[in-house]
Amino acid sequence: MMSHDGLLGELDLHLIGEGRHWDLADCLGAHVVEHNGRQGVRFAVWAPNARSVSVVGDFNGWNEGASPMALRSGGVWEVFVSEARAGHRYKYAIHDAHGHRLPLKADPVARQTENPPATASVVADETPFNWTDDTWMQERAARQAHDAPLSIYEVHFGSWRRQPGEGEAQWRTRGAELIDYVKEMGYTHIELLPITEHPFGGSWGYQTLGLFAPTARYGSPNDFAAFVDACHAAGIGVILDWVPAHFPTDEHGLMRFDGTALYEHEDPQQGYHPDWNTLIYNFGRHEVRNLLLASALEWARRYHVDGLRVDAVASMLYLDYSRKHGEWRPNAYGGRENLEAIAFLRDLNTLVPEHAPGAMVVAEESTAWPGVTAPVHAGGLGFHFKWNMGWMHDTLRYMGYDPIHRRYHHHDMTFGMVYAHTEHFVLPLSHDEVVHGKGSLFGRMPGDEWRKFANLRAYFGFMWGHPGKKLLFMGGDIGQRAEWNHDAQVDWAALADGRHEGLRNVVRDLNAVYRRHPALHASDSLPEGFTWLVGDDIENSVFVFLRCHESDYVLVACNMTPVPREGYRVGVPVGGIWNEILNTDASAYGGSGMGNGGSVEAATEPSHGKPYSLNLSLPPLATLMLTPSGSQGEQ
């Protein structure tokens, strides 16, 4: 039995029409309700240019004539079906304005879907999850502040770890193992490649269609909520990659949803991504902005996620992104800036902190757009952090050179400090750097086996010492030799080789030092928190800098050649004993064991503008970290 008696309230319809319904998935989509004394499911969908819409599914034998929907104001169609239940699959049968029947469409706001490659939406069981993370949620803002330590482990959940013949991983099983690993390694956050529902696994989630549904590949929506809750219980934050920049052209998806370019632009110069063969959201349409903004809030509020990393922001900001002359349409002022996308991003970064206090939004933005992390009220985009793609490209390029040639590329390691304080940065060694023929991080290091390990250990030391929050893709911390393969798993067997285990121990210990010492994180965004002591020793490829915060000091010294440097004098601000708190060349890590015997006493000999100095032994291809006795992080 079905009914069309005014199911949605007038306020819901009004807010949908205005594009300001932040609880969009509570009214549109499929919901188990009681209506006129009967239990069933209310279906509602926005399709303003359709001639007719009906819902088809398990409850009516997929008969498009069985459950026709009624048109309400603003182009919303609705119907109550008493035979429908939670767990039933469904789609919408839509006839366009000319009466042509379109391919069956999945629900744009479905909270659950069937497991790909199947494409139907599923009526979700919306029984509230029993959260136990009140303390975490109250502390979240401080844990994710600009002065907090953030060390992020980036994960493709389906290929992190698999047992033989297991197939895809599960939130409650592999999820528990992932949490244990992340906690053991000392990371503060897990960042998940997109787990919004996506039809093609080979897109890694970046061609998503189900903006409100956790992918069915890994379990139910409540399974995902349980994973987030367990992360919070372990003191670990959860960041989701979220993709509002584009969507795929699968016929069951958003493309020409009601027979018109409803979600995309009609003009391919505005509505089509040539690089990815995908469509671009029409950010100028308020109902489309509403869909995207409501999705962001859904993850932050319903699933308690702690942050969204917005993919491909540069492609949203520029109308001429990856387009030649004549292939793009200027804005109203003749410029290349996408004014509608800019307004959307500012709305996003205003609404998320307002509706989910303490949650953060991070931009993957690869250009020099000014003020990405500046507040919206100051004319910025309002993101909490920005990925520092320039730092990543420069330093990886440097590390790829044979040490004998590094003197000619010294600036690749120092240039990042020219702009390090212009934004709030994350330093990302992400999945994008270990695919498409680029090789693994380990494979990109030059030299023989010993040098490859030494280079990567030294590079991680430089990265953890450098201003900016840290992000490392899975497999990088164990020196996986092969490129990432989303159909396999991390090469855990490599840890049987003590050199790989040594590299992992370096990352674990770097995380511990990083979290313990405010000097390495609390002043990331402040110029006074960083001082070059030796930034110009081009001939020796040595870099030495001082990180400081209040009474905490950490000296970072990097020797990027295989030649040991004895008697290397470096100025320091305070006297006494300086303890060697980390040495990437330690024998325990697989290094040569050269160093400073655990500590060095400062001499009253000024150097580098400082009243005291240390006479250091710099190991080959290594990074040292030293801190004075009594420093805040050592107390």
Point out the residues that are catalytic. Answer: 311, 364
Helices within 129-217 (DSSP H only): 134-143, 174-185
What residues contact residue 408 under an 8 Å CB cut-off, 6+ apart? Answer: none
| Ranges assigned E (strand) in 82-234 | 89-95, 121-122, 151-155, 189-192, 196-197, 210-214
Q: What is the DSSP letter of 493?
A: G
Taking the C-alpha atoms of 294, 202, 436 and 481 in order, what is their torsion angle to the nearest 10 degrees? 110
Q: What is the DSSP letter of 247?
A: B
What residues contact residue 556 under an 8 Å CB cut-off, 6+ apart? Answer: 461, 462, 465, 466, 543, 544, 545, 546, 547, 623, 624, 625
Taking the C-alpha atoms of 178, 182, 185 and 187 in order, what is their torsion angle to the nearest 10 degrees? 160
Nearest in space to 251 (alpha carbons), one of 123, 78, 94, 367: 94
Judge if the upstream peptide bond of residue 117 is cis by omega within 30 degrees of 0.
Answer: yes
Longest dimension (CA), the chain: 90
Burial 593-624 (b: 16+ CB within 10 A, else e): ebbbeebbebeeeebeebebbbbbbbbbbbbb
Taking the C-alpha atoms of 538, 539, 542 and 547 in order, what is their torsion angle to the nearest 10 degrees? -30
CA 310 to chain centre: 7
CA dist., res. 352 & res. 307, Å (int): 9
Per-residue CA distances from 635 to 83, 509, 517, 628 (Å): 66, 17, 10, 11
CA 341 to chain centre: 20
Burial class (CB in 10 A: 0-12, 13-18, 19+), 508: middle
CA dist., res. 172 & res. 184, Å (int): 18
The answer to whether residues 515 and 184 touch, using CB atoms and an 8 Å cutoff, is no
Give φ, ψ of 57 to 5 degrees.
Answer: 180, -170
Using the structure block, give the residue that is written with the tokens 């879907």.
113
Using the structure block, give the residue that is written with the tokens 């992932």.
178
Give φ, ψ of 23 to 5 degrees.
Answer: -105, 45
CA dist., res. 594 & res. 596, Å (int): 7
Using the structure block, give the residue that is written with the tokens 């209506």.
35
For CA atoms 27, 28, 30, 35, give the dihedral sign: positive
**Three-state SS for 519?**
helix
